Structure formats: structure tokens, C-alpha cells
Amino acid sequence: MDPQSTSNLDTRISLPNASTPKEHVQVEEVCLHLLQATLFHIGMLWAEKRLSVAVEHFATNIIRTRLTHIFDTTPNKQEGVIIFIGCAPQEPHEIGALMLALFWRRIGLNIVYLGQMVEIHSLLQEVVQRRPWVVCLSAMTRPRVKDVARVAREIAKLDLPRPIFSLAVVPSVKIQN
């Protein structure tokens, strides 16, 4: 699928009062410039106790549902290297990982999205069985980064060929050796 195509309404989002195709915005632009800022603001309001957990979850679920729909309706390349994308063990925050999976699927990569709280043992089983080229896990807090480090150590023990292992981390998490 051509991400530039205006025939697939799920790849472009109409702006209010849009009268021409030039007034459509790519999904990536909406994710990077609107949704991330919105989620950050919602998180700040929650941290300041100006927003309830219920409202934060409601807003996040609206965004997750729409991104999941776009991801599910974007054709996945079935040949070539496989890329696993998911969240660290015990990591429930999946929007960043889902966005990355969506972006990479839209450029034609063969993406297997693993979702939230990827369990180490089953991930290793899938890595051995399916032999992905890349495994990318997302972490939002320091304890989850430590969990990802455990996953990286386990992947390093696997027989060759091993996948490239990548950590996607929120900028506020400081990684120390």
C-alpha cells in the first residue's frame, strides 16, 4: 500500500473544513505532533491530580483503539525479515510501541506486534521458532528498562543467528550502566 494514497481513508486524516486532498494529514504527522503531545499533557494533568485515572484511561483507550484499527487494516508484508515490536515485561503503556509498529508496517516492513507486557519465556520461544531480524521492546519506567535488560541478556544466549535487539525508551527514563 502506498502511504501517500488518498484512497485509503485510514492512512490520512481529514482536517476540519478540509475541502481538498492537500488538507489531509498523514497518520505519522498526527501521531508525532498531536497524539504524543496530547498524551503527555494528559499524563501531566494526571500527575498533578487534576485528572482522574478513569479519564486518563478513557482518553488513552480512544487513541489506542484508533491506532489499532489503522494498524490492523494496513497490509503486512508477509515475506522478508520479521520484526517483533512490543512492550517490556510488566509494561502496560503500549501507545509508543504501537505507533512504531504502525509506522514500520506502513513503510512495508513485516511487523509482528506483540502488545503490552511481553512475557520473557514465550518471547524467547517465538524468537527461536520464527527467527525475527529485530526485536524491539518499549519501556516507560526504570524498572521496565531493567526488565528489558534481562530480555537482552537472554537473547544474547541464543544460538546464532540472533536478532538485533532494540530498546525504545521514553526520554524521561535515564539509562545507567
Domain limits, the chain: 1-74, 77-177
Local confidence band at 109 (pLDDT 50, 70, 90 cut-offs) = very high
Please give the DSSP secondary-structure letter assigned to residue 151: H
Give the pLDDT confidence score for residue 7 in this predicted structure.
Answer: 35
Q: What percent of the chain has pLDDT over 90?
A: 56
Give the pLDDT confidence score for residue 170 in this predicted structure.
Answer: 63
Local confidence band at 43 (pLDDT 50, 70, 90 cut-offs) = confident
77-177: which CATH architecture?
Answer: 3-Layer(aba) Sandwich (3.40)
| pLDDT over 50 (residue 18) | no
| pLDDT over 70 (residue 13) | no
Give the pLDDT confidence score for residue 124 in this predicted structure.
Answer: 95
Of how many residues is the chain composed?
A: 177
| pLDDT over 90 (residue 165) | yes
Question: What amino acid is encoded at 159 in this protein?
Answer: D
Give the pLDDT confidence score for residue 172 in this predicted structure.
Answer: 53
Burial of 151 (0-12, 13-18, 19+ CB in 10 A): buried
Give the pLDDT confidence score for residue 29 in this predicted structure.
Answer: 87
Q: Cα–Cα distance between 138 and 155 in angstroms, integer? A: 16
Q: Cα–Cα distance between 101 and 71 in angstroms, integer? A: 8
**Average predicted confidence (pLDDT) for the chain:** 83
